[in-house]
Copies of this chain bind each other. A is one copy, B any other.
Amino acid sequence: MNADFHPSQRAQWARGQPISRLMARALEDPELISLAAGFVDNQTLPVLPVRQAMEQLWTDPRAARAALQYGTTVGYPPLREIVRERSRQVDGPEHTVPLERVVITAGSNQLLHLVTESLVDPGDVVLCAAPTYFVYLGMLSGLGARAVGVASDAEGMIPEALEEQLKYLKSTDQLARVKAIYLVPYFDNPAGVTMPLERRAAVVELAKRWSHFTRIQVIADEAYRELRYQGQDVPGTQVCDVEGDTVVVAGTFSKSFSPGIRVGWGVLPPDLVAPVKDQKGNVDFGSPNFNQHLMAKVLEMGLFETHLESLRAGYQAKLASLLSAAAEHLSRLDGVTWLRPTGGLYVWVCLPPETATGPDGRLFSQAIREGVLYVPGEYCFPVESRETGQNTLRLSFGVQSCERIALGVEKLAQAMRGVMG
């Protein structure tokens, strides 16, 4: 007798994110201009800084050996110290957190996973802006959690809509299941919007005020904070949390330096430190020590800041190229609008309500025929959401050259014309 394979409940929940199939499709056709993948610019990857840091690190055999040995679960202390110091510099010394609250992870993505794993049981609710980062939505369904949408505008999640949702959940006896509010407060993936300080403060205040049954954490995914191309930085979400018990910050050097090195971090409320450490201990014992030592050296040598400046200049030009192509080609199409971000890697496009952007719709196929790929906006909407974004799409400008971005937008406009008649 040899019975069939039976995956766990978790494995069933995590089954096949549709977006992976989309990406696989993009990779099959090298001619296709992908404005879909949220990858970073290949040409600006820090080849020279990494070599310099490696050479410096390797001048001291003891330091080299330390980098090749096991580290600790929460991460290399000097790197955690640098993360803390950088946060102090941007948000002010009054918001400095104790070192124990800083943890190093495999990108910010892993931090999101560890924190959410530590907070939610199956059936629990995480409130998310609609639209929001689709990978996080996939993670929530993989945990058997419910993603409930909160209306969002050009300044991100709307506090009044959040309160309305909390009231509704309370009135239906579901408030005890609400464990977190997820924000991407800087240059949101997918919409490119940034939350002003007042909005962040309002969301944090609501989280605290509605913590009737269990503390509702605010998870601030600040992965794009460093990628600002104009205007002033907005203070980090944690400055709105005077008690320090509500806001979780996720950060990363993946977007601002190198995704292949994949070093991210979290700043945690004290109660979450032990659970996140325990989860990380079970998952991987700690992120690769080599990468952490290397990244610390890059930062100590000042190579990060220099690289970031050139990176910003490059992305600024790409964003300009996308926006100018949009002004030229999309503005001629009735009912097509788009947001104009000042940072990040994404531009969000809205089509007339009747024009479906989904993978089974006419526009998506037509765009591929024209030679361009986008992310259908519907992937970015929580399962439980009033809006479904069926007429929206996300364009990424990180990967392609300025010329190909402009060409991609032109092709997209062509596809839209064909479909919208």
Name A residues whose Cβ lies closer than 8 Å to a Cβ of B: 1-11, 14-17, 20, 39-40, 42-43, 45-47, 50-51, 54, 58, 61, 64-71, 73, 106-107, 109-110, 113, 117-121, 124, 135, 138-139, 142-143, 179, 208-209, 211-215, 243, 245, 258-262, 269, 271-272, 274-275, 278-279, 281-285, 287-291, 293
Q: How far is the CA of A351 from the CA of B227 in the complex (A)?
A: 61
Could you tell me the distance in whole angstroms from the C-beta of A73 to the nearest C-beta in chain B? 8
Q: How many copies does the complex hold?
A: 2
Nearest residue in B to A6 (C-beta to C-beta)?
B214
* Contact indicator B68/A46 (Cβ below 8 Å): yes
Q: A1-B209, A107-B284, A285-B109 are in contact. Are A47 and B69 (CB under 8 A)?
A: no
Could you tell me the distance in whole angstroms from the C-beta of A190 to the nearest C-beta in chain B? 17
* Contact indicator A61/B39 (Cβ below 8 Å): no
* Contact indicator A7/B275 (Cβ below 8 Å): yes
Q: How far is the CA of A39 from the CA of B124 in the complex (A)?
A: 39
Sorted nearest first, the 3 A-B pairs with minimum C-beta distance are A260-B289, A5-B271, A11-B275
- Listed by A's residue number, 9 A-B pairs whose Cβ atoms lie within 8 Å are A1-B212, A7-B118, A11-B118, A11-B275, A43-B65, A45-B69, A68-B258, A110-B284, A262-B289
With a cutoff of 8 Å between Cβ atoms, the chain B residues found around residue A39 in the complex are 69-70
Nearest residue in B to A106 (C-beta to C-beta)?
B284
With a cutoff of 8 Å between Cβ atoms, the chain B residues found around residue A258 in the complex are 68-69, 290
* Contact indicator A10/B118 (Cβ below 8 Å): yes
Q: A138-B282, A283-B110, A291-B291 are in contact. Are A3 and B211 (CB under 8 A)?
A: yes
With a cutoff of 8 Å between Cβ atoms, the chain B residues found around residue A117 in the complex are 8, 10-11
* Contact indicator B215/A278 (Cβ below 8 Å): no
With a cutoff of 8 Å between Cβ atoms, the chain B residues found around residue A259 in the complex are 68-70, 289
Q: How far is the CA of A198 from the CA of B80 in the complex (A)?
A: 49
Q: How far is the CA of A293 from the CA of B259 in the complex (A)?
A: 13
* Contact indicator B16/A42 (Cβ below 8 Å): no
With a cutoff of 8 Å between Cβ atoms, the chain B residues found around residue A271 in the complex are 5, 7
* Contact indicator B10/A279 (Cβ below 8 Å): yes
* Contact indicator A4/B118 (Cβ below 8 Å): no
Nearest residue in B to A65 (C-beta to C-beta)?
B45
* Contact indicator A121/B282 (Cβ below 8 Å): no
Q: How far is the CA of A3 from the CA of B207 in the complex (A)?
A: 11
